[in-house]
Structure 1
């Protein structure tokens, strides 16, 4: 099946990260979502059996069902060195990339070269070694697409990234600047992918202003992950509201991360989860975030697609430490803190699922 033309700019879809096997078409229909994003770990792919990969199979089922798709390629170099050009290790990377491209290039609407390059790297290696590696794989993707244009392959849009925390001047390194210059220099690249996980909306704007000023005016951006997760994290050590403690029998002064851990160990009714969230000022005062962030992105006139996290950490039982990352507060469907409905389906998360639909209607 050929990839479909992408619809109007500014779409909002659902992000599954590396868990494409969790795609649930009923969930997507209830949210009115027509876009799906996920990534594959290129070091976990068997190049001789790409079609046997369960994430690829799940993605293709979604494509056959009519969904538009964004696929990101992740190269995890957090525990290994980047291979030098011309070495056997580098050739192995390109051979695997070639095998994956032969399977996915005529299917997906948008392909992203990279997942979070500046995080998925050894300490001290986010320098020209990173740039050289990603430039070579980008050139290989461009060359493959052009070389197979007359052999039944369609031409999905190509993006590169994703970038993190560029609201912070300290993160705007020479390697970041070089990658942005590379993206701007290549007419085959539609633009950049961003992961604006920020503590404030002002941070989202600062990152947008920085990045968009460094790429071509005709280029656009994706926001395949975005959230206020670092804002939530700052409050995990706060005491839970007196209202909640009194109503549900928790000792006064119980911390936010402690009650969430309790819920993961023994999930609550949905009403109790909403009671917790709706009585925490640091959470409920951010109501409207999804609507406001999308309005900001769309106002640039350069947003292609944004995707928001749909799948929480399922069946997690490990406690949430005070310095943990509370992704369960972001997701569109209630996480493992909440009992399923009698029919086994999951509750929507408060208030993000309804905001997601509001953006779709807007």
Structure 2
């Protein structure tokens, strides 16, 4: 099955998405620019919005409100748009996930309604949940609470869409997203029920997955789990990367050629170079030399296009999206050997590389060209 060609933004919405690659800003739309999307030849955009930011009376200046507004702006520019609804009950709030019928559940549904009034019929894909099994307490993952909650939210969204758009609606619904399926302890009664609900609920188009892995073929375990359980449904991969492979190399010595060229002590470790780039952004060629001379990165610089080929080969992929930029969460805290190096994934490198002469964020090494290559390959 040939993927839809991302020739121009207007092409993104002519038919249901099939094997599309888009850009993901997660929860920080400020890292994305229309010029950057155009340079990357992207035609789809994805972000998430945290539901607690939509309480009545709250100021509409949060990243979550901006995420919704940005996606609506993308729609107006003829980009395809994917919005994930995030319910961060853990670890940020460290609270049990609400039970249907409770006052807390009613509050969440009111928050959902505040978003639905803006996006239903506008965005192309609405994903119910961001990373549900991470964003709830451990006990609630297997005691039925997480499934009760997200099934109740899904039914509420389905009912809203049916009532407001009785003649049909462009916004289709997915459940999302499953994490850590490469770890057996994250596959259990909760994930089984999740997939059963996806498979058996006509109004749900499929599930999302977030395969952040430590080896080039690491996402295969995710596919092996979901594909037999999808039935005739499809899947999204709104986040995917080799971030854990990068993390495995943070405490290695830097490449000798890099150390010699830039007069850096030979015993400097990878994480220290990244920290130095965050403290004072590097010239582009220095950052490129660092990654180009690192075998663990250079040998995987086509991961994005290679993984997209694997997703598309299933003939079940609707949309995958890849990180567009280095957001504040990647750089605002002191970077150490224990940090998760998300910033190595990004298409643009606003935090570790000096801006281009025109003021735009410089492309991160490798990913911009691989992203463009992956549009049609």
Give the structure-1-normalised TM-score.
0.94
Is the CA contact (8 Å cut-off) linking 2:141 and 2:190 kept in structure 1?
yes
Shift of 1:91: 1.3
Measured in 1, the distance between the counterparts of 2:139 and 2:102 equals: 22
Gaps of 5+ in 1: none
Is the CA contact (8 Å cut-off) linking 2:278 and 2:352 kept in structure 1?
yes
In the other structure, the counterpart of 1:165 is 180
CA deviations 1:284-333 (Å, max 9, x no partner) are: 11121011100000000010010000021359354311111001100001
In the other structure, the counterpart of 1:150 is 166
In the other structure, the counterpart of 2:295 is 281
RMSD (Å), alpha carbons = 1.9
Measured in 2, the distance between the counterparts of 1:6 and 1:23 equals: 25
In the other structure, the counterpart of 1:208 is 223
In the other structure, the counterpart of 1:17 is 26
Measured in 1, the distance between the counterparts of 2:201 and 2:237 equals: 20
Relative to structure 1, is the Cα distance of residues 22 and 154 closer, same or farther in structure 2, using a 3 angstrom cutoff? farther
Measured in 2, the distance between the counterparts of 1:266 and 1:100 equals: 39
Measured in 2, the distance between the counterparts of 1:316 and 1:338 equals: 12
Measured in 2, the distance between the counterparts of 1:219 and 1:318 equals: 40
1:305 equivalent to 2:303? Answer no
Does the residue aligned with 2:208 lie in a helix, a strand or coil? strand
CA deviations 1:98-132 (Å, max 9, x no partner) are: 22212110110000000000111123321211111
In the other structure, the counterpart of 1:269 is 283
Measured in 2, the distance between the counterparts of 1:126 and 1:304 equals: 27
In the other structure, the counterpart of 1:26 is 35
Measured in 2, the distance between the counterparts of 1:54 and 1:356 equals: 25
Shift of 1:84: 2.4
Shift of 1:50: 9.2
1:249 equivalent to 2:258? Answer no
The number of residues matched between the two structures is 358
Is the CA contact (8 Å cut-off) linking 2:17 and 2:319 kept in structure 1?
no
| Residue pairs, 1:1-362, within 5 angstroms | 4-47=13-56, 53-78=65-90, 79-127=94-142, 128-150=144-166, 154-216=169-231, 218-314=232-328, 316=331, 318-362=333-377
CA deviations 1:76-97 (Å, max 9, x no partner) are: 1111112222222111111221
Measured in 1, the distance between the counterparts of 2:151 and 2:15 equals: 26
Comparing 5-14 and 278-287, the one that deviates more: 5-14
Measured in 2, the distance between the counterparts of 1:258 and 1:191 equals: 41
Is the CA contact (8 Å cut-off) linking 1:220 and 1:303 kept in structure 2?
yes
Is the CA contact (8 Å cut-off) linking 2:326 and 2:346 kept in structure 1?
yes
Shift of 1:48: 5.6
Measured in 1, the distance between the counterparts of 2:282 and 2:110 equals: 48
Is the CA contact (8 Å cut-off) linking 2:174 and 2:207 kept in structure 1?
yes
Measured in 2, the distance between the counterparts of 1:94 and 1:194 equals: 24
Give the structure-2-normalised TM-score.
0.90
Measured in 2, the distance between the counterparts of 1:337 and 1:51 equals: 30
Gaps of 5+ in 2: 1-11
Comparing 154-163 and 234-243, the one that deviates more: 154-163
In the other structure, the counterpart of 2:5 is none
Measured in 2, the distance between the counterparts of 1:90 and 1:21 equals: 31
Measured in 1, the distance between the counterparts of 2:107 and 2:27 equals: 22
Measured in 1, the distance between the counterparts of 2:211 and 2:15 equals: 23
Is the CA contact (8 Å cut-off) linking 1:5 and 1:109 kept in structure 2?
no
Is the CA contact (8 Å cut-off) linking 2:54 and 2:114 kept in structure 1?
no
